[in-house]
Homo-oligomer: A and B are copies of this chain.
Amino acid sequence: MNIGFIGLGNMGSAIAGRLLEAGHSLRVWNRSPEPVRRLEERGAQVAATAEEAFRGDVVFSMLSDDQVTRAVLVDSGVLARAKASETPIHVNMATISVAFADELAERHGERGVGYVAAPVLGRPDVAAAGKLTVLLAGPRQAAEFVRPLLEEAVGQKVWRFGERASKANVVKLAVNFMLAAAIESMGEAAALTAGYGIEPRDLFDLIGQSLFPGPVYQGYGRLIAEARFEPAGFKARLGLKDVRLALAAAEAATTPMPMGSLIRDSMLEALARGEGEKEFGVVLGRSALRRAGK
């Protein structure tokens, strides 16, 4: 298939690489040149502008947030000049706000471009293995068209969440919130037991092998126990951003999320002490220990 791909960060590059390996023809664009070069070596064509890459049987984009997505696709006029004949379907994989997702759906609709949201769960190594969990929402026809592509090259499982694209973004934010809540709970539990001389590692080993198996408790448990603030696989300030988006989406639906508020406030405090560029899970997960003087 003839595919455009915009946004080659860690996640975007990994997914684009998978699509190349699956034999598709890719035209890629990115703000900084380095990741473009690496994909060119693997067979991708290079688009001179985002607008050039915003064409094909399907276009994927994986830009970092609302601001960048708006700059590249909206303010640039790319979307305003798009045509259904050149760009029948755009699959946006970024974690963006629900309000912006709704705005994008409307803007695409005006140009006749099918707009599908497909945010993913998983980190770059999972993406490179094609084993992401994909949350898919958008108009039926467009969504069903891209589904096989996503199943083949991106994710081991694709979950379908209705016709309104932003639904997939809400679910993504809800899942990220649960991840943050799990981390905060690990931190508080570790602070409690540390008060009685028990190592966080011993607590996390226990729960990871009993009530809480799976990647979150085991993976973050290890990082928190080892105080591995770096490297930052996911930066604290981005973690705060996602919690903020979840709270904003909840507020728009008149829904309080007290645990979300608590995590937001804890992360603001962390940023105020200069931890914004460190690993989110460790910054949040060690906050309770820090408050207890541990």
Interface residues of A in 111-164 (CB under 8 A from B): 121, 133, 135, 157, 159, 161-162, 164
Is B265 touching A211 in the complex (CB atoms < 8 A)? no
Is B269 touching A291 in the complex (CB atoms < 8 A)? yes
Q: Does A278 contact B (CB under 8 A)?
A: no
Q: Does A98 contact B (CB under 8 A)?
A: yes
Is B195 touching A189 in the complex (CB atoms < 8 A)? no
Known: A161-B202, A167-B196, A272-B293. A175 touches B207 (CB 8 A): yes
A211 to chain B: which residues have CB within 8 Å? 121, 133, 175, 178-179, 214-216
A269 to chain B: which residues have CB within 8 Å? 256, 291-292
Q: Does A73 contact B (CB under 8 A)?
A: no
A256 to chain B: which residues have CB within 8 Å? 191, 264-266, 268-269, 272, 288, 291-292
Q: Does A87 contact B (CB under 8 A)?
A: no
- Using CB atoms, name the residue of chain B closest to A191: B255
Known: A206-B135, A209-B157. A293 touches B273 (CB 8 A): yes
Is A257 touching B288 in the complex (CB atoms < 8 A)? yes
Copies in the assembly, this chain: 4
Q: Does A223 contact B (CB under 8 A)?
A: no
In the complex, what distance in Å separates the CA atom of A216 from the CA atom of B161?
A: 24
Q: Does A246 contact B (CB under 8 A)?
A: yes
Is B185 touching A182 in the complex (CB atoms < 8 A)? yes
A291 to chain B: which residues have CB within 8 Å? 255-256, 268-269, 272
Q: Does A32 contact B (CB under 8 A)?
A: no
Q: Does A192 contact B (CB under 8 A)?
A: yes
Give the contacting residue for A272; candidates B98, B173, B265, B292; CB below 8 A. Answer: B292
Q: Does A171 contact B (CB under 8 A)?
A: yes
Give the contacting residue for A198; candidates B170, B191, B203, B272; CB below 8 A. Answer: B170
A292 to chain B: which residues have CB within 8 Å? 250, 253-256, 269, 272
A260 to chain B: which residues have CB within 8 Å? 188
Measured between C-beta atoms, what is the minimum distance from A65 to chain B in Å?
Answer: 16
Q: Does A193 contact B (CB under 8 A)?
A: yes
Q: Does A258 contact B (CB under 8 A)?
A: yes
Q: Does A177 contact B (CB under 8 A)?
A: yes
A177 to chain B: which residues have CB within 8 Å? 185, 188-189, 192
A164 to chain B: which residues have CB within 8 Å? 196-197
8 contacts between A and B (CB under 8 A): A174-B192, A175-B189, A175-B207, A175-B211, A182-B182, A254-B293, A256-B266, A256-B272
